[in-house]
Every structure is written in structure tokens, then in C-alpha cells.
Amino acid sequence: MRENDSRDNLTEKYIDGLDSVEKNEIPKRLRKSFVWSIILLIFGIGCITFGIYRLIYADLFSAVVLIILSIMTVVPAVYTLFKFCKAKIEKDVDLRREILNEIIVV
């Protein structure tokens, strides 16, 4: 009896995962990745803004460090957000699932 209950629970969890893809929502396993990509994008934009300010009004070395740091944070964040947007636009559920499986889980 308990084995059937555990199978039902696993089936419900699996169906919930499928429903989020079919409903065109962010799956639970990728919500952390989505939040972290937004945080990295905001941090990178702040670094590039402060780096340009330092380039104009201060020394070159600190500006270069901030600009490199911003590139290192903005590029993965934009790539991940691009994948999320591409999955959101995609109409075919199987292609949407493939796109979401390419995203790294944090």
C-alpha cells in the first residue's frame, strides 16, 4: 500500500513539472537560476556604470577591473535570460522543454 502511495506522489510531482512547461511558466527547478540571472544582470549593469564613471573621473586600472567584472556577470545573465525568453515565446512544448533543459540549474 505504501509503495503505491509513493508512486502516486512521484507521479504528481512529475506531472506538476510537466504542467509548468505546458502552461508556459518557469519550472520550480529553474526559478533559482532565473532569480540569479536577474541579480547578476543588475550587478553587471551597476559595475559597468561605475566603471565608466571611474574611467572618466579616476584611474584607468580600477575602471578596467570593473568593466571586466561587468562583462563576466552580464554575459551569462543575458544568455540565461535569452533562453528563458526563447522558451516563453516557443509554442511547441517539446522544443520548449529542450530549451529549458539547456539552462544550468543553480
97 Cβ contact partners less than 8 Å away, ≥ 6 residues apart: 21
Sequence spans of domains, the chain: 2-101
More confident residue, 53 or 95: 53
What gap in Å lies between CA 61 and CA 51, rounded to an integer? 10
Direct distance between the N- and C-terminal alpha carbons of the chain, in angstroms, rounded to an integer: 36
- Tens digit of each residue's pLDDT (9 = 90 or more) over 36-73: 999 999 999 999 999 888 888 888 888 889 999 999 99
More confident residue, 8 or 103: 103
pLDDT > 70: percent of the chain: 78
What gap in Å lies between CA 106 and CA 95, rounded to an integer? 22
Hey, what's the torsion of the CAs at 18, 21, 27, 33, to 10 degrees? 140
Indicate whether this model's pTM tops 0.75.
no
On the question of pLDDT at 78 being above 90, the answer is yes
pLDDT band per the 50, 70, 90 thresholds, residue 18: low
The position carrying cell 530549451 is: 99
pLDDT > 90: percent of the chain: 29
Residue-level pLDDT at 10: 47
